[in-house]
Structure 1
Amino acid sequence: MSLLNQLIFFISFCLAFQVMALINLEALFRECDYDLCEICHLLKPEIILKPCLHRVCVTCAFEAKNICTIPSCKKWTNNFESFNDNGLCYSCKEEASTVTTFPCFHKVGNICANESYSPFHRCPQCGIKASYFFKLVRLKNDCQNCSDELAVKKMKHCNHFIGQICINRNKTNKCPVKNCNHIQDHSSENDSEQTCCICRLEKTLSVTLSPCYHKICNDCANELSLQKNYICPLCREPIKRFKNIGTTRKNSS
Structure 2
Amino acid sequence: MSQSLDRALTLLGSLGDGPVSLGQAAASIGVHKSTALRLLRTLEEHGFVHRLSDRRYRLGGRVLSLAQRALQGIDVRQVAAPYLAALHERFGCTVQLAVLEDDEVLYLDELTGRWSTGAGLPDRIGRRAPAAGTAIGRVLLAGLPQDGRAEEELPAELAAVRRRGWAAESSGHLETVTSVAAPVAGSDRRAVAACAVSAPADRVSPAELVRLVPELLCTAEAISLAYGGSPTPRWCENRCGARPVVRASRT
Same fold (TM over 0.5): no
TM-score (norm 2): 0.26
- Structure ID, larger Rg: 1
Question: Whose helix fraction is larger, Structure 1's or Structure 2's?
Answer: 2
Higher relative contact order (CA 8 A, sep 6+): 2
